[in-house]
Amino acid sequence: MIALKAITTEQREQYERDGFIVFRGLFSQDEINAVKERLAYYIRQGLRMLKEGQKPEKDTVSFEGALIQLEPLVAQGKYIPDDPLYAARKVWNLFGHDEVLTSFATSPKLLDIVEDLLGTSAIWFFADKALLKPPKIGVEKPWHQDLPYFPFEPKDEPQIHVAAWIALDEATVENGCMQYISGSHRLGNITTAHVDTYGLDHLSADMSKVDTSKAVVVEAKPGDVSFHDGLTLHYSSPNTSDKPRWALVLDFINAERATYVGKGEPNFPRVR
C-alpha cells in the first residue's frame, strides 16, 4: 500500500468497506461548464440532421472521433426533440481527441484520488463516457457491475478498476442519480448474463444476493464526484423530470494488478 496522497485513512477505509465514496465539489462550475460545452458541440454537430427531422441511419454516429449514441426512443424513431442536445444517451471516445476532455480526465486532483483508491501509482486510463439522460425520455441503467464488461483480468477482485462518476448537472432521484449497494464489491463477480434492455446490451447480475431496498441513493451537484469499484453494484433510474441529467464517467485500471485480455493491441494510455 502506497502512502495516501489526497484522501484520509478514514476515507480509504470507507471506500474499502462500501465500494464507493463521494467527494463533493471536486470540480468547479467553470471546469464542468468547459466539459459540457465540448459535449454540446459534438452532439449538436454529430446529430445536426435531426434539425431537419432526419434520423441518422445508425443508432451511433461518429463525429470528429467522438461516438454519439441515440437515446432509445429517438433511435426507434418515436421521438425527435427540438434540440439535438436532448437526443443523445451517450457520448464517448473523447480522450485523446478533445483537448478539454483529455486535460480534465487527467486532472492531478482526480488522479491523486484514483491512486489512493486503487492503491497503486501505476494507472491506465481506460475509457470516457458521458451518460446523458434527456428530460422525460432518459432510460434507467439497470443494476450491474462494471468490471465484467471490461477486457481485464482478474474479474472477481476489488481494486482492479475504479470509475469516477462526475455530475455535470444536478442529479436527483427524479432525473436519475446514482444508487449503490454498499459492500457489494466484496461479493466478487456476480454478473450472470447478457440481456437486451431498450435495445441496449446489458450485463445483468445475480440480484438475489443483495437487498436493493437498502440501496444508497447519491444525489449530486455539478462538480461532485462519486468513485466506485469495478465490482460495486450500481443503478440509475429513468429521468422522469423536465431537467437533463448529464454525467461524465472516467474508467481507470490498476496497471500493477490487471492484465489486458482484449483483442488486438491495447490502445489506452498510462496516465500515471
Ligand X SMILES: O=C(O)CCC(=O)C(=O)O
Which residues lie near ligand X (CB under 6 A)? 131, 141, 146, 163, 165, 176, 234, 236, 247, 249
Contact of 152 with 221, CB cutoff 8 Å: no
Find the shortest distance in angstroms from Cβ 162 to ligand X. 11
Find the shortest distance in angstroms from Cβ 140 to ligand X. 8
**Placement of cell 463525429 in the chain:** 63
**Closest to 34 measured CA to CA, from 100, 92, 102:** 100
Find the shortest distance in angstroms from Cβ 176 to ligand X. 6
Considering beta carbons, is residue 155 or 234 the nearer one to ligand X?
Answer: 234
Find the shortest distance in angstroms from Cβ 148 to ligand X. 11
Considering beta carbons, is residue 55 or 243 the nearer one to ligand X?
Answer: 243
Q: What does 143-165 look like in DSSP terms, one character per residue?
A: EE-SGGGSSEE-SSSTTSEEEEE
Find the shortest distance in angstroms from Cβ 90 to ligand X. 9
Considering beta carbons, is residue 181 or 249 the nearer one to ligand X?
Answer: 249
Instruction: Output the residue with the shortest Cβ distance to ligand X.
Output: 236
Considering beta carbons, is residue 45 or 170 the nearer one to ligand X?
Answer: 170
Q: Helices 9-18 and 108-118 sit at what angle, rounded to 10 degrees?
A: 60
Give the phi and the psi of residue 192 in degrees, each rounded to 5: -115, -50
Q: What does 15-56 look like in DSSP terms, one character per residue?
A: HHHHSEEEETT-S-HHHHHHHHHHHHHHHHHHTGGGGGTPPP
Please give the span between the terminal C-alpha atoms of the chain, in angstroms, as a whole number: 16
Contact of 132 with 171, CB cutoff 8 Å: no
Considering beta carbons, is residue 59 or 121 the nearer one to ligand X?
Answer: 59
